[in-house]
Amino acid sequence: MLACVDVAYGDTSALAACVLFESWTSARASRTLTKVVAPIAPYEPGAFYKRELPCIEAVLADVVATLEAILIDGYVWLGRGRPGLGAHLFDTLGGRVPVVGLAKTSFHDNDVALPVLRGKSNTPLFVTAEGIDAALACDHVRSMAGPHRIPTIVGLADALSRGR
Protein backbone atom coordinates (compact mmCIF):
# COMPACT_ATOMS: atom_id res chain seq x y z
CA MET A 1 0.00 0.00 0.00
CA LEU A 2 1.15 3.53 -0.80
CA ALA A 3 0.07 6.80 0.80
CA CYS A 4 -0.14 10.34 -0.56
CA VAL A 5 -0.50 13.06 2.06
CA ASP A 6 -1.28 16.77 1.92
CA VAL A 7 -2.23 19.47 4.43
CA ALA A 8 -4.22 22.70 4.07
CA TYR A 9 -4.28 25.40 6.73
CA GLY A 10 -6.97 27.61 8.20
CA ASP A 11 -6.46 30.33 10.79
CA THR A 12 -6.27 28.04 13.81
CA SER A 13 -6.42 24.50 12.44
CA ALA A 14 -5.30 22.33 9.55
CA LEU A 15 -6.93 19.56 7.58
CA ALA A 16 -4.55 16.70 6.83
CA ALA A 17 -5.49 14.24 4.09
CA CYS A 18 -4.16 10.80 3.25
CA VAL A 19 -4.99 8.88 0.09
CA LEU A 20 -4.11 5.19 0.21
CA PHE A 21 -3.57 3.47 -3.12
CA GLU A 22 -2.46 0.00 -4.24
CA SER A 23 0.27 0.77 -6.78
CA TRP A 24 2.05 3.70 -8.38
CA THR A 25 -0.16 3.28 -11.47
CA SER A 26 -3.46 3.22 -9.54
CA ALA A 27 -6.07 5.63 -10.83
CA ARG A 28 -8.31 5.32 -7.77
CA ALA A 29 -7.90 5.46 -4.03
CA SER A 30 -8.27 2.33 -1.93
CA ARG A 31 -9.19 4.49 1.04
CA THR A 32 -9.08 8.14 2.06
CA LEU A 33 -8.58 9.61 5.51
CA THR A 34 -8.72 13.15 6.83
CA LYS A 35 -7.87 14.58 10.21
CA VAL A 36 -8.47 18.05 11.66
CA VAL A 37 -5.43 19.18 13.64
CA ALA A 38 -5.64 22.05 16.14
CA PRO A 39 -3.87 23.98 17.30
CA ILE A 40 -1.22 24.31 14.62
CA ALA A 41 2.28 25.68 14.94
CA PRO A 42 2.92 29.10 13.43
CA TYR A 43 4.69 29.28 10.09
CA GLU A 44 8.43 29.52 10.65
CA PRO A 45 10.55 30.43 7.60
CA GLY A 46 13.13 27.73 6.94
CA ALA A 47 11.39 25.28 9.28
CA PHE A 48 8.11 24.49 7.51
CA TYR A 49 8.34 20.90 8.72
CA LYS A 50 7.64 22.06 12.30
CA ARG A 51 4.17 23.10 11.16
CA GLU A 52 3.36 20.34 8.68
CA LEU A 53 4.94 17.24 10.22
CA PRO A 54 2.57 16.99 13.23
CA CYS A 55 -0.40 17.17 10.84
CA ILE A 56 0.97 14.39 8.64
CA GLU A 57 1.77 12.27 11.69
CA ALA A 58 -1.81 12.73 12.93
CA VAL A 59 -3.43 11.47 9.73
CA LEU A 60 -0.90 8.65 9.28
CA ALA A 61 -1.69 7.44 12.82
CA ASP A 62 -5.02 6.19 11.47
CA VAL A 63 -3.40 4.10 8.71
CA VAL A 64 -3.41 0.40 9.62
CA ALA A 65 -1.86 -0.91 6.39
CA THR A 66 1.87 -1.47 5.99
CA LEU A 67 3.13 1.29 3.72
CA GLU A 68 5.54 0.70 0.85
CA ALA A 69 6.17 4.46 0.47
CA ILE A 70 4.70 7.85 1.29
CA LEU A 71 4.32 10.61 -1.31
CA ILE A 72 4.32 14.17 -0.01
CA ASP A 73 3.47 17.47 -1.65
CA GLY A 74 6.83 19.14 -1.18
CA TYR A 75 10.51 18.42 -0.84
CA VAL A 76 12.31 15.61 0.92
CA TRP A 77 15.59 17.46 0.41
CA LEU A 78 15.96 21.20 -0.08
CA GLY A 79 19.49 20.59 -1.30
CA ARG A 80 22.46 18.36 -0.55
CA GLY A 81 22.54 17.93 3.23
CA ARG A 82 19.53 20.23 3.72
CA PRO A 83 16.57 18.20 4.99
CA GLY A 84 13.08 19.21 4.00
CA LEU A 85 9.72 17.99 5.26
CA GLY A 86 10.14 14.54 3.72
CA ALA A 87 13.54 13.89 5.30
CA HIS A 88 12.10 14.83 8.69
CA LEU A 89 9.13 12.49 8.08
CA PHE A 90 11.49 9.67 7.05
CA ASP A 91 13.47 10.14 10.29
CA THR A 92 10.30 10.37 12.39
CA LEU A 93 9.19 7.01 10.95
CA GLY A 94 12.53 5.50 11.93
CA GLY A 95 13.65 5.15 8.33
CA ARG A 96 11.19 2.29 7.81
CA VAL A 97 9.11 3.86 5.03
CA PRO A 98 10.59 5.53 1.93
CA VAL A 99 9.39 9.09 1.31
CA VAL A 100 9.04 10.65 -2.14
CA GLY A 101 8.64 14.39 -2.46
CA LEU A 102 6.77 15.89 -5.39
CA ALA A 103 7.12 19.67 -5.59
CA LYS A 104 5.33 21.88 -8.08
CA THR A 105 7.82 24.74 -7.92
CA SER A 106 11.60 24.84 -8.02
CA PHE A 107 13.37 25.57 -4.75
CA HIS A 108 16.33 27.90 -5.27
CA ASP A 109 19.78 26.30 -5.04
CA ASN A 110 18.37 22.77 -4.88
CA ASP A 111 21.10 20.57 -6.30
CA VAL A 112 19.34 17.23 -5.75
CA ALA A 113 15.79 17.66 -7.10
CA LEU A 114 15.17 15.84 -10.37
CA PRO A 115 12.75 17.35 -12.90
CA VAL A 116 9.95 15.12 -14.18
CA LEU A 117 7.67 16.02 -17.08
CA ARG A 118 4.17 14.53 -17.19
CA GLY A 119 1.33 14.80 -19.63
CA LYS A 120 1.72 17.51 -22.23
CA SER A 121 3.15 20.00 -19.75
CA ASN A 122 6.51 21.63 -20.37
CA THR A 123 6.69 22.57 -16.68
CA PRO A 124 8.41 19.91 -14.59
CA LEU A 125 7.57 18.54 -11.21
CA PHE A 126 10.59 18.32 -8.89
CA VAL A 127 11.22 14.96 -7.24
CA THR A 128 13.37 14.24 -4.20
CA ALA A 129 13.45 11.04 -2.14
CA GLU A 130 14.80 9.25 0.90
CA GLY A 131 14.83 5.50 1.43
CA ILE A 132 14.41 4.90 -2.31
CA ASP A 133 16.63 5.70 -5.28
CA ALA A 134 15.70 9.13 -6.65
CA ALA A 135 15.73 7.93 -10.27
CA LEU A 136 13.34 5.10 -9.38
CA ALA A 137 11.13 7.61 -7.55
CA CYS A 138 11.03 9.68 -10.76
CA ASP A 139 9.99 6.60 -12.74
CA HIS A 140 7.18 5.98 -10.25
CA VAL A 141 5.97 9.59 -10.52
CA ARG A 142 6.01 9.36 -14.35
CA SER A 143 3.96 6.14 -14.18
CA MET A 144 1.24 7.59 -11.95
CA ALA A 145 -2.27 7.73 -13.38
CA GLY A 146 -3.64 10.89 -14.92
CA PRO A 147 -3.16 12.72 -18.19
CA HIS A 148 -1.97 15.98 -16.65
CA ARG A 149 1.13 17.33 -14.94
CA ILE A 150 -0.29 16.55 -11.49
CA PRO A 151 -1.06 12.85 -10.97
CA THR A 152 -4.69 12.00 -10.19
CA ILE A 153 -3.91 10.67 -6.69
CA VAL A 154 -1.96 13.83 -5.80
CA GLY A 155 -4.87 15.98 -6.97
CA LEU A 156 -7.24 13.94 -4.83
CA ALA A 157 -5.08 14.42 -1.71
CA ASP A 158 -4.96 18.16 -2.40
CA ALA A 159 -8.75 18.36 -2.82
CA LEU A 160 -9.40 16.37 0.37
CA SER A 161 -7.05 18.56 2.38
CA ARG A 162 -9.04 21.57 1.20
CA GLY A 163 -12.28 19.95 2.35
CA ARG A 164 -13.52 19.04 -1.12
| pLDDT tens-digit series, residues 81-109 | 999 999 999 999 999 999 999 999 988 88
Residue 55 has pLDDT above 90, yes or no: yes
Can you give the pTM of this predicted structure? 0.95
Whole-number Å distance between alpha carbons of 131 and 86: 10
Asked if residue 38 lies in contact with residue 67, where contact means CB atoms within 8 angstroms, the answer is: no
Whole-number Å distance between alpha carbons of 123 and 76: 20
Whole-number Å distance between alpha carbons of 88 and 121: 30
146 Cβ neighbours under 8 A, 6+ residues apart: 27, 118, 119, 152, 153, 155
How does residue 49 score in pLDDT terms, banded at 50, 70 and 90?
confident
pLDDT on residue 107 = 81
pLDDT on residue 114 = 96
